[in-house]
Structure 1
Amino acid sequence: MGHPRKALRTTTAGAVSATLMAGCALGLAPAAHATSGGIRFVDITGDGGTVLKANVVTPAGDSRTTHPLLVLPTSWATPQAQYLAQARRLADSGYVVVTYNVRGFWQSGGEIEVAGPPDIADASRVIDWALANTPADPEHIGMAGMSYGAGISLLTAAHDRRVRAVAALSGWGDLIDSIYSGRTQHVQAGALLNGTGLLTGRPGPEIQAIFKDFFASDLSREEELIAWGKKRSPSMYVDQLNSNGTAVMLANAWGDTIFPPNQYTRFYERLTGPKRLAYRPGDHATAEITGLLGVPNDVWTDTHRWFDHHLRGEDNGVDREQPVRIKSRSTGDYEAYPDWKSVGATRTKISLDGSPTIRANVNSGADGGIVVLSSLLDQFTRVPPMASIPLLPRRYAAVWRSEKYPGVRRVRGTAEMHTTVTATKESGTLVAYLYDVGPLGLGKLVSHAPYTFHGQTPGKPFGVDLELFSTAYDVPAGHRLALVVDTVDPLYIEHNPTGAQLTFSSPAADPSYVSVPLREQ
């Protein structure tokens, strides 16, 4: 079985930890224009007596006047000053803001719990402290955060009815569907989280065991991994959020390699209260990171407007706007929709004909890129991972192409692959890639997703249904779409025994295809 080893995990964590730590540095930058009532650095007693390091920023003026309260837990591996610039801006507009370092990281006490029950209890203790020690209004409380802070905010809102509004930026609705989608370990994402956690915090014994099992592909512990992740998934508590009437804003990037967009969409669709969903180009937290400098930023502007309406009662039109807003990777233009299903209102199918057989264990050259870095490059240069489709070795990659499109095809939403696979081994991994192919055969990655199977009977066909990661991408006139399937991608742990082969077929009674969602012209 071709498993990435420790060297890969260490290299990946080292390569991208600098990116995250740059985000930390942004959070330290002061906002020179701030006129708020001052910043206090305080210790707050969290669950079980754990000391949480926090910043408190209050509006200028009469301290006897109450103000809406915003609580911002820090992101994974970032210090307590992460949100300082945004906290000042929010305080200037009339909020009491408390940002705190979550347990287990930097100077806060305790061990890393990965959004477990102690983290949720900590957030409620922070709210208690703020109500007792600041001019915070107990009837108007919100939470916001990036990444780890987003997940903790959603989970807290589900368990603490006092939280009336949430802005969850680059977070997760389903933790397992994020790092274990397609029953495939996202090894570079896991290595990044594990590496930065060890660098900046104190992982507890439970998370150390989870990561050990995750990297070891221990199937005997799979149920425990899933149960651990479900406990930490806001999607498991969506009924509580709906019952509480919490106003939930979700924002993510199309290329998020830590928390891919599909799991956020499924979570969004189950919410029944006031809600908003936004997708932009980029990777994990890259769309909102400039806002940590206090620089004007679309994500943070939306966040401020969300809270101004739901906590301050401002009639700013947020409630009348179409709630799903997406930004194309190709044009940078915004589009608004009444719901997620309207994003890809029509579909086109590419038939997956023939019966190609590919050998496993070898990277064909089709890849999803490098965690954080590839989608960051796509965000700022519109250059996604690429491959020469004609040169991909057909021994290791199955390739199907559409006809040449006479006009632009605006891919919007979630492409879906359906096929029949016959394997020579009982386990295996495949990765599907959708490419935009130009006249010279150069393919630009539109989307991809992994899929792993276990317990299949060798030689017996079985069906595979796979959702590729959602996206917004314009295929130029004169180009084609191509679907490529191989068995190895450095982003993922693969489960192909040595010498395995996969055959793809399209039975007459159950034809194979990839269905691509399109925006109506």
Structure 2
Amino acid sequence: MTTSQGTRPDAVVSLYPELDEEALDQVARALRTGDTSKLSPARAAEVAETREVATFLDGVKVPVGEGVELDAAVWLHREEGPHPLIVMPSPWAKQGWTLYTVQAMRFARRGYHVLAYTARGFGESGGEVEVAGEADIADGSKALDHLISQAGGPGSIGRIGFLGDSYGSGISQLVAAEDRRVHAVVALSTWGDLGEAFYENDTRHVASVQTLLGAAATARLSERTQQAFDDVLANRNIEETLEWAAERSPYHRAQKLNDRQVPVLFAQAWHETLFPGNQTLKMFNALSGPKRLLWSIGDHSGPEMSGMIGLPNRIWQDAHQWFDRHLLEANGDEAAAAAFDTDSGAEDQVVSEVMWGRALESRPSWHAATGNPERFYLTGPAEGGKDGGLLDKPTNGWHTTFTTGTDTPATVADRILLTGYAELAGLPKAYRTGKIDRSDAGVWTSAPLSSRHQLRGVPRLRVTVAPSEADATFVAYLFDVNAFGIGRIITHAPYTLLGSAPQEPVTIDIALQVTGYDVRAGHRLMLVLDSVDPFYGPAAETPGTITVTSPDEDPSYLEVPLS
């Protein structure tokens, strides 16, 4: 809904819908009081051990200027130092720093001094939400100053790391780019280019913005932040919003990280809906220093969420190993270095959890993780048929036309975040592809595959379209379809044409979102183009048509990276 203060959500949304907040609060209380009676035996033992080796302080107020204080908690290791430091800016959530409680105490037991804080505008922190603006970057440095003073001053500390999940991950990268004291970063469910996350191929990510507004329903947004979100939803002031987003994008400060060769660990979900994977991959590939990228099944923050409540979690395990290597090892902790180096795949830059078998693939670089491109050419429907084909040779001279303005069962997901949690539980969404109305979508299907196809990387679509309107939006989906016509989504991407000449063919290239997916032998690949998806804002409200064709001189094709 829209109010005098701008667009506000109808309901509060959690980016951690399955997180047990009370369990985290109980851990924090037990750390403070020593009363572990409400904790499980394993967690009670962790808390007791932490209290033996570290001092825990919550309710800490970190002054950051202009009368603003950040709500924070500190874990100070008691053994003689120097000790490395970790600063943890909070996610985009009302719970603030408490989401890090379990992992922070684990870092403290390992020998780190830790400060976790709630970002400005959220929870008990002062100020207004600036979406990783200059004030947030300065806040990170001020929080580090505070932790250094609590640890005994510059002469009493070791190397310094920043770790964040979601919102805190972007802030962590930006602080590391600007503050030369930061030696390593862990960025979980992160962004590299915020502009691309809001406007992918000139298409507005309206569901993402609505979800962010819902998750910040109790926060205090600055006037500029509210305007940026409102502008995306209202389809206005695009250039100004992209400039605003660029200032908040680590990608545009990557050279500063490269100048100091700052090690960065990324973790991302294949079906990430808030910050799609390609823009994080772009940031990863822009870095020249030590780096590592973990791909997982699911959606935003889902793969790492179980670790927040203390369950075994490979992403958090990697985060600990990353800091052990780049912070502890530099302090002369050879045992930590050896533990990291002997762990399987520890030297590799890319580790992928493949959909849906959950097998882990470890590769030394992104280039080594990416498959070789294989083309499937789009063809027209066979006589009496409705679907085009995906063949190994071009067949030109055909055209397919579908109407715009009507949604079809081809969608990104049923619900943002929650569909990803179902994927994590082994229940990916099933699409009944026979129910896709071919008058409202273009559909192209391959023959049954003779062997397993391992898609690794960024599929690409080159296609010639002729919309009836000057502005037109469509979404390309790639499905894995079994013999019964039941599909699972592999990847997708939206695309918007602005200011084109109506009915004039335009050839475009679309990078679908990065994927790691195995298609079984006997299954088919299915490409679907339609014009409506609740996740995206259309360029025009007026229904029309889109005609797809394949010129002789430039045939339309789908290119998939096969390993």
Report the counterpart of residue 252 of structure 1 in structure 2: 268
Comparing 492-501 with 134-143, greater Cα deviation is found at 134-143
Comparing 130-139 with 397-406, greater Cα deviation is found at 130-139
SS at match of 1:256: coil
Q: Is the 8 A contact 2:471 2:540 kept in 1?
A: yes
Matched, 1:380 2:425: yes
Partner of 1:280: 296
SS of residue matched to 2:425: helix
Which position in structure 2 is the counterpart of 1:17?
14
- Structure 1 residues 247, 23: closer, same or farther in 2, change over 3 A? farther
Q: Deviations over 1:375-413 (max 9, x none)?
A: 2211212423x3222332111010001121122111111
The alignment partner of 1:433 has SS state of strand
Q: 1:26 to 1:215 in 2, by over 3 A?
A: farther
Q: CA deviation at 1:196?
A: 1.7
For residue 67 of structure 2, the aligned residue among 19, 38, 49 is 49
Indicate which of 479, 489, 497 corresponds to 1:453. Answer: 497
SS at match of 1:326: strand
Cα distance in 2 between the residues matched to 1:148 and 1:214:
19
Letter matched to residue 347 of structure 1? P
CA contact (8 A) 1:426 1:455 kept: yes
CA contact (8 A) 1:416 1:516 kept: yes
What is the Cα deviation at residue 265 of structure 1? 0.8
Kindly provide the CA deviation profile for residues 142-198 of structure 1, in whole angstroms up to 9, marking residues without a partner as x: 000100010000000000010000000001011111122121111111111012212
Q: 1:26 offset after TM fit, Å? A: 5.5
SS of structure 2 residue aligned to 1:278? strand
Distance between the aligned counterparts of 1:9 and 1:486, measured in 2? 29
Q: Which runs of 5+ in 2 are unaligned?
A: 28-42, 330-335, 381-398
Change in CA separation of 1:158 and 1:501 when aligned onto 2, cut-off 3 Å: same
Shift of 1:497: 3.8
Residue 166 (structure 1) aligns with: 185
The residue identity in structure 2 corresponding to 1:375 is G
Which of residues 437, 445, 450 is equivalent to 1:401? 445
Which residue of 325, 330, 335 corresponds with 2:361?
Answer: 335
What is the letter of the counterpart of residue 48 of structure 1?
E
Separation in structure 2 between the aligned mates of residue 431 and residue 193 of structure 1, nearest angstrom? 22
The equivalences for 1:118-157 within 5 A come to: 118-135=135-152, 137-157=156-176
Inter-partner Cα distance in structure 1 for 2:20 and 2:551: 51
Distance (Å, rounded) in 1 between the aligned partners of 2:522 and 2:8: 40
Q: Which residue does the alignment assign to 2:553?
A: 509
Note the C-alpha offset of 1:61: 3.0
Partner of 2:197: 178
Shift, 1:482, TM fit: 0.5
Mapped contact 1:47–1:118 kept (Cα < 8 A): no
1:326 and 2:390 are equivalent in the alignment: no
Unaligned segments of structure 1, at least 5 residues:
none
Letter in 1 for 2:560: V
Shift of the 469–411 alpha-carbon distance from structure 1 to 2, 3 Å rule, reads: same
- Which is bigger in relative contact order (C-alpha 8 A, separation at least 6)? 1
Corresponding residue for residue 108 of structure 1: 125
Q: 1:321 to 1:284 in 2, by over 3 A?
A: same
Secondary structure, counterpart of 1:481 in structure 2:
strand
Aligned to 2:98: 81
Does the Cα contact within 8 Å between 1:29 and 1:293 map onto a contact in 2? no
Answer yes or no: is 1:476 the counterpart of 2:520.
yes
Contact 1:402 1:482 survives alignment (8 Å): yes
Deviation of residue 440 (structure 1)?
Answer: 1.2
Residue 233 (structure 1) aligns with: 249
Q: Among 243, 252, 268, which residue is 2:284 paired with?
A: 268
Displacement after TM superposition at 1:432 (Å): 0.4
Distance 1:57 1:92 in 2: 9
Aligned match of 2:433? 389
Counterpart position of 2:30: none
Q: Distance in 1 between matches of 2:79 and 2:157?
A: 19
Bigger shift: residues 238-247 or 386-395: 386-395
In the alignment, which of 25, 31, 34 is matched to residue 28 of structure 1? 25
Aligned equivalent of 2:209: 190
Cα separation, partners in 2 of 1:26 and 1:396, compared to 1, 3 Å: farther
- Rounded to whole Å, the distance in 1 between the matches of 2:112 and 2:508 is 50
Matches of 1:169 and 1:353, distance apart in 2: 41
Q: Distance in 1 between matches of 2:26 and 2:189?
A: 21
Report the Cα offset of residue 50 of structure 1. 1.2
User: For residues 531 and 69 of structure 2, what CA distance do their matches in structure 1 show?
Assistant: 47
What is the rounded CA distance, in whole Å, between the counterparts of 1:67 and 1:247 in structure 2? 19
Q: Aligned partners of 1:25 and 1:456: how far apart in 2?
A: 54
Give 1:111's aligned amino acid. Answer: E
**CA distance 1:284–1:25, change in 2 (3 Å):** farther
* Paired residues of 1:329 and 1:382 also in contact (CA < 8 A): no
**SS at 1:46 equivalent:** strand
Runs of 4+ in 1 over 6 A off after TM superposition: none
Specify the SS of the correspondent of 1:80: helix
The answer on whether the counterparts of 1:428 and 1:497 sit within 8 Å (CA) in structure 2 is no
- Cα shift at 1:443: 1.4
Distance 2:139 2:150 in 1: 16
Identity %: 36
Answer yes or no: is the 8 Å Cα contact 1:350–1:401 preserved in 2: no
1:244-269 Cα offsets, whole Å, 9 max, x none, are: 22111111111111111111111111
Q: What SS does the corresponding residue of 1:288 show, helix, strand or coil? A: helix
Q: CA 1:54/1:66 → structure 2, altered by over 3 Å: closer, same or farther? A: same
CA distance change for structure 1 residues 244 and 280 in 2, over 3 Å: closer, same or farther? same
Distance apart, 1:18 and its partner CA: 7.3
**Paired letter, 1:22:** L
Structure with higher Rg: it is: 2
TM-score normalized with structure 1 length:
0.93
1:5 CA drift (Å): 9.8
Quickly say closer, same or farther: Cα 1:27–1:429, change in 2 above 3 A.
Answer: farther
CA distance in 2, matches of 1:397, 1:368: 15
TM-score normalised by structure 2 residue count: 0.87
- 1:364 equivalent in structure 2: 408
CA distance in structure 1 between the partners assigned to 2:315 and 2:73 by the alignment: 22
Instruction: Give yes or no for contact 2:8–2:213 (8 Å, CA) kept in 1.
Output: no
Q: What is the rounded CA distance, in whole Å, between the counterparts of 1:346 and 1:26 in structure 2?
A: 46
Distance in 2, Cα, partners of 1:409 & 1:180 = 31
Matching residue of 1:224 = 240
One-letter amino acid of the counterpart of residue 143, structure 1: F
Q: What is the alpha-carbon distance in structure 1 between the residues aligned to residue 276 and residue 26 of structure 2?
A: 29
Residues 1:103 and 1:258: Cα distance change in structure 2 (over 3 Å)? same
1:38 maps to 2:83: no
